[in-house]
């Protein structure tokens, strides 16, 4: 086994910042001393990840192999938020492709708003739910099986980039799928925001952990340029929209390593709970969970009905020759 290299900058000097995951299982986490990218000390192979995501991930990370009503409601609301954020930046007829579409809510929200929208999802339970309940065009599939024909107009990568054993390989591949005027939206946990105590930061499924700077550095070195970062500094998730660029130059942010270490070292239980916005954020989260418990079942029933009605209308509008063939 060769010397470990940083996926962002190919650096070889690392500092250990964790030895356990959030479930107190052994997991080494390290930070690159050159660019500040946080990653597993030992990166899983493609074969290990394929097995894990196909059969174990949803159960170990979400506690369910098929989505609960609460999870569907949450994913649908997130899909509407993403559509609302991106709408000012996209054409009304722009085609959308989501990698790791999960339940398929975001794919369906874009479809209901007039976009040809499809996606791929490796997890059997979530992909089956997406097709059978939401009637989406989400199929079982892997990113690296997709044609790099520069035909895509907008690619979404929502809470997926942290799961790749090589985010660089994934972004370079996505760049080859996009047209030269295509757009790329990525969302992932923000390790620069104190969203968790240090003992709860790391998880086997999150192979890489990004700050705004490290995600921007990586994307720019893979042929993208930042259009807009959404959300606030305190937001636990990064939300960035990129356009395609001819440049693949890597420019290292010399402050990212130091600033990331400051955040990680400050994530003690006491400091975490004494954050100025800790109480309000907890109240907001508990309130949203309560709302989900009370209304999720009816919310999902209404969503499924809307999806069925939309499918029926699309069928009615299809030419007679197509309906006969179906």
Top CATH class, 14-279? alpha beta
pLDDT average, residue stretch 134-149: 95
Q: Where are the domains of the chain?
A: 14-279
Q: Which residue has the tokens 């929200």?
A: 109
Confidence of residue 267 (pLDDT cuts 50, 70, 90): confident
Residue 244 DSSP SS3: strand
Q: In a 3-state reduction of DSSP, which class is residue 202?
A: coil
pLDDT in the model for residue 1: 47
Q: Which contiguous run of DSSP H or E holds residue 242?
A: strand 237-244
Rounded Cα gap, residues 256 and 278, in angstroms: 25
Helix axes 256-266, 212-221, angle to 10 degrees: 150
pLDDT 10s digits, 68-115: 999 999 999 999 999 999 999 999 999 999 999 999 999 999 999 999
Half-sphere exposure of 240 (CA within 13 A, CB side): 23
pLDDT tens track for 201-235? 898 889 999 999 999 999 999 999 999 999 987 78
Q: How many CB atoms lie within 10 A of CB 101?
A: 31
Residue among 38, 29, 27, 34 nearest 13 (CA): 34
Note whether 139 and 199 are within 8 A (CB). Answer: no
Q: Which of 14-23, 66-75, 148-157 has the highest mean pLDDT?
A: 148-157
Token digits for 291?
Answer: 């709302």
């Amino acid at each position: 086994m060769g010397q470990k290299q940083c996926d962002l900058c190919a650096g070889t000097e690392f500092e250990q910042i964790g030895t356990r995951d959030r479930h107190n299982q052994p997991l080494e986490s390290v930070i690159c001393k050159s660019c500040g990218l946080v990653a597993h000390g030992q990166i899983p192979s493609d074969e290990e990840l394929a097995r894990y995501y196909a059969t174990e991930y949803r159960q170990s990370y979400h506690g369910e192999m098929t989505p609960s009503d609460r999870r569907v409601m949450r994913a649908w609301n997130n899909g509407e938020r993403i559509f609302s954020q991106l709408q000012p930046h996209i054409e009304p007829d722009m085609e959308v492709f989501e990698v790791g579409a999960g339940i398929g809510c975001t794919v369906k929200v874009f479809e209901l708003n007039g976009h040809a929208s499809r996606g791929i999802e490796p997890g059997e339970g979530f992909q089956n739910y997406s097709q059978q309940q939401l009637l989406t065009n989400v199929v079982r599939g892997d990113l690296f099986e997709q044609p790099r024909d520069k035909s895509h107009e907008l690619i979404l990568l929502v809470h997926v980039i942290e799961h790749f054993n090589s985010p660089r390989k994934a972004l370079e591949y996505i760049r080859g799928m996009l047209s030269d005027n295509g757009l790329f939206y990525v969302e992932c946990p923000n390790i620069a925001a104190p969203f968790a105590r240090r003992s709860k930061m790391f998880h086997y499924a999150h192979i890489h952990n990004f700050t705004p700077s490290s995600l921007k550095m990586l994307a720019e070195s893979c042929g993208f340029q930042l259009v807009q970062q959404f959300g606030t500094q305190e937001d636990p998730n990064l939300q960035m929209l990129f356009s395609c660029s001819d440049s693949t130059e890597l420019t290292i942010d010399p402050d990212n390593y130091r600033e990331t270490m400051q955040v990680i070292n400050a994530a003690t239980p006491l400091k975490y709970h004494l954050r100025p916005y800790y109480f309000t954020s907890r109240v907001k989260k508990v309130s949203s969970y309560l709302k989900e418990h009370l209304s999720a079942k009816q919310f999902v029933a209404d969503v499924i009905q809307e999806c069925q009605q939309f499918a029926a209308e699309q069928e009615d509008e299809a030419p007679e020759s197509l309906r006969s063939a179906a």
